[in-house]
Amino acid sequence: MLPPVRCFTCGAPLGHLWEEFRRRVESGEDPARVLDDLGVTRYCCRRTLFTSITYIEEIAAYHIVRMRAARSTGEVEGVVEE
């Protein structure tokens, strides 16, 4: 899933908070405290940020491997590698 752009329930914009939230939580800060610092007070918005899992980077890695394999077998033409 991609990072949340808006809260799924109330529609409040959250996309601008995602990177800082993720970075601080991954560095070991308490998620509740980070959400408080970011001014996210609604439960629905806190849930949206706290429960979001982004795996686009992992999927993209497999896509590249799959495209390379398909290209080597001639299955796909015109694939642009990065």
Give me the residues that bind Zn ion (CB under 5 A), please: 7, 9-10, 12, 42, 44-45
**Per this entry, what is the length of the chain?**
82
Nearer to Zn ion, 39 or 78 (CB): 39
Give the shortest CB-23-to-Zn ion separation in angstroms: 21
Nearer to Zn ion, 2 or 76 (CB): 2
Angle in degrees, CA 64, 60, 29, rounded to 5: 145
Nearer to Zn ion, 7 or 17 (CB): 7
If phi > 0 it is left, if psi is from -120 to 50 it is alpha, else beta; for residue 7 that is beta
